[in-house]
Structure 1
Amino acid sequence: MNMAKAPRRRPTLKCRLAAALCALTDSSGNRLIPHEHAKLMTEDDVLSLFQWDHYPIRHIDDGPLAHWNLEPLLIMAHREKTAKVDAPQLAKARAVRDSEAIHKAKLASRSGDDLAAAALISTVVSRPRLKRKPKISSRPFGSRKTRRFGNRQRTAKSNLGKADE
């Protein structure tokens, strides 16, 4: 009897992506998702743990949506990188760009080219500065036994009944 086996099914793209993400390791060689945990998870569970970071060219800097510019990061690692690396770099670049535009506008206005100066100033986005809240001044609280009377101090046990001189 010549019985042919049915061809094996190929894993889906989602299955292969989840497998690739499960194989990722940290700098010390430990898997980001332990094997025992991965066995209990579905493909969607594994995919939900990751976010895609645009690296080396950030999305805001017109980074392409291409495989070589995307890096899978765990959600908390991605948030941390965004807060501690990307946001400060963007703020610095914005501050330098605005400072340079103001400088060029000043040079243009000194040379008499007011239209160019106005165009340069219009590129600077004014951002409202956060006002510092005034510090609440603390007031001295005396102890129960001490009261202030003018320049002198009296304690509860000393001559409270006598009039101030």
Structure 2
Amino acid sequence: MNGRWSGYVNPFETACVLYAAAAKAGSNEETNNGVTTEMGYDVHITRKENWFDDGPEISLDEWKSFIEKDDEMRLDGYAEAKLPNGAALRVDSDGLAVWTAYSGSTAGGNMAWFDFRSGNVVVKNPDVSILSKMWQIAQKLGARVQGDDCEIYGSDGSIVAT
């Protein structure tokens, strides 16, 4: 062996790279009921090797129990926003919670939403503050924080592994 190539291909890394490449190959816009929006980037609190794999999951009951114990989190079960055309967009999810202590929250506007999906807790377009909160939650749930492209985030919200 020359040290540059061992002949072993890690299937998890390959799957993650392929998933990321497929996601980037598509358009960065989607249409929902005639409203075009730019797609966001999800970051996941997960116990899985890669957030999209089968594997150990966080249960909805575990997530709800965590929210009950964290004074900064509130389980709402839905989120609602007004669209530019005046219509209301409502998302219902049993595991949808808000981080009430988020410094970036605005009245009737920006909120830090944490949604339970497929055994993971997901936040769309988190900033460094939210990533840090996600890391704290992950520590209590025996999980880690992983982006759509499979990068891992640390306590300060920075990428610590790719």
TM-score by length of 1: 0.18
Between Structure 1 and Structure 2, the one with more helix by share is 1
Going by fraction, where is strand more abundant, 1 or 2? 2
Larger radius of gyration: 1
Relative contact order, higher structure (CA 8 A, sep 6+): 2
Q: What is the TM-score normalised by the length of structure 2?
A: 0.18
